[in-house]
Amino acid sequence: MAIALTIKNAIGGKENVPLPTVQKVLDNYGKAVTAKARAVLAEKNKNATGNLSADTRHEVLVDAEGDIILDYPFRSAPYAMFVEKGVRGSIDDSKAPNSPFKFGSGTGPAGGLKPSIRQWILDKPVNQWRDLKSGRFMSYDSMARMISRKVFLHGLAPTNFLGPSLEMLYKRYKGKLEDAFSEDISDYYQKTLDDQEANLVMNFKLL
Q: What pLDDT digit, counting tens, does each position of 54-93 carry?
A: 999 999 988 877 778 899 999 989 889 999 999 999 999 9
More confident position, 193 or 173: 173
Q: Over the range 63-74, which residues count as b (16 or more CB within 10 Å of their CB) and which as e?
A: eeeeebbbebeb
pTM of this prediction exceeds 0.95: no
Domains in the chain: boundaries: 4-81+160-202, 87-156
C-alpha neighbours within 13 Å on the C-beta side of residue 173? 23
Distances (CA, A) of 20 to 7, 176, 185, 190: 16, 13, 10, 15
Q: In the prediction, which pLDDT does 44 show?
A: 93
